[in-house]
Structure 1
Amino acid sequence: MADAERAGAEAEAGRGDAESAAAEAGAVRGDAES
């Protein structure tokens, strides 16, 4: 049970990392355009 909860938490953390990386890429793209 704890392993499943930990896996779920890690998946959420990974998703958050991907979202922040995408946000950073978008900011960099915006800088390049301006």
Structure 2
Amino acid sequence: QMAGRQVHYYPFASARGHDAFLLEDEQITPPLSDWLASL
């Protein structure tokens, strides 16, 4: 468990070359709109 950290799960993240579980406060992902546009 990671208390105080918001974790988002992108089911298509692994296909994009990223980990599926991404920490919000690390900001290592493109905006969600970019993810959706790439589908």
Higher relative contact order (CA 8 A, sep 6+): 2
Does the alignment reach a TM-score above 0.5?
no
**TM-score class normalised by the smaller sequence:** under 0.3
From the two aligned structures, give the one with the greater strand fraction.
2
Q: What's the TM-score once normalised by structure 2's chain length? A: 0.22
